[in-house]
């Protein structure tokens, strides 16, 4: 007997608004992270409009949501790599996955340009491709696409809006400087 794969969603509140993790169970895979919105009802309808099934619980989804809540609370995460084995990346091309892996290595509190990511990818003129891949990043925050900016250091576009991207970069900068001050 084949096990049914169920789509679930978990909506939770952060200091920046409501977020959601969309996941499959049996086995668990994170399918998508939805960035904060301050309109809970609209957000819930948006989640349910997608084909993400019903609200649900899973210990891995809870752990990921707590990481996101901590992130928006400004808690310095240290150097934790994404949980690659829990991310459903089957629908992404190998090159797209490589862009996400490179992006995941940008340290908390730092930024890189689309051009720098393209150079690391050994495709120095592919900065627009990098931007396109990051625009489709299904795991924002977990894979910190908000840390990638334009060469002139302006924030550029972001799925949650440029203002949210700017606030996230500022949060990391503030958290990092406070952390460094406490360590001295």
> Could you state, in order of their start, the residue ranges of all structural domains in the chain?
6-72, 90-183
Class level of CATH domain 90-183? mainly alpha
Nearest to 162 by CA among 149, 175, 143: 149
Beta bridge partners of 18: 13, 37
In terms of residues, how long is the chain?
A: 184
Residue 32 confidence (pLDDT) above 60 = yes
pLDDT at 57: 85
pLDDT at 48: 67
pLDDT, one tens digit per residue, over 33-51 is 999 987 767 666 766 666 5
Say which CATH topology domain 6-72 has: Double Stranded RNA Binding Domain (3.30.160)
- Exposure of 69 in the CB half-sphere (CA atoms within 13 A): 13
Residue 26 confidence (pLDDT) above 70 = yes
Burial of residue 120 (CB within 10 Å: 0-12, 13-18, 19+) is middle
pLDDT at 1: 41
Active site residues: 145
Q: Using only C-alpha atoms, what is the Rg of the chain?
A: 17
pTM, full prediction: 0.87
Output 110 or 47, whichever has higher pLDDT: 110
For residue 144, give every residue at least 6 positions away whose Cβ sits within 8 Å of its Cβ, in sequence order, or none.
103, 104, 106, 108
């Amino acid at each position: 007997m084949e096990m049914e794969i169920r789509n679930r969603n978990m909506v939770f509140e952060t200091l920046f608004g409501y977020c959601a993790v969309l996941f499959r169970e049996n086995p668990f895979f994170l399918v998508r992270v939805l960035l904060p919105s301050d309109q809970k009802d609209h957000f819930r309808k948006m989640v349910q409009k997608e084909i993400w099934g019903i609200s649900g619980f899973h210990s891995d989804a809870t752990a990921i949501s707590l990481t996101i809540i901590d992130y928006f609370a400004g808690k310095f995460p240290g150097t934790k790599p994404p949980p690659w084995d829990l991310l459903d990346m089957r629908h992404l091309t190998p090159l797209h996955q490589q862009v996400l892996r490179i992006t995941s290595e940008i340290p908390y509190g730092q930024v890189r340009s689309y051009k720098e990511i393209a150079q690391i990818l050994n495709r120095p003129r592919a900065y627009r491709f990098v931007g396109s891949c990051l625009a489709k990043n299904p795991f924002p925050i977990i894979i910190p696409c908000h840390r990638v900016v334009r060469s002139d250091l302006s924030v550029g576009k972001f799925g949650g809006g440029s203002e949210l991207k700017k606030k996230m970069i500022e949060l990391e900068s503030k958290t990092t400087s406070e952390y460094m001050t406490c360590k001295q």
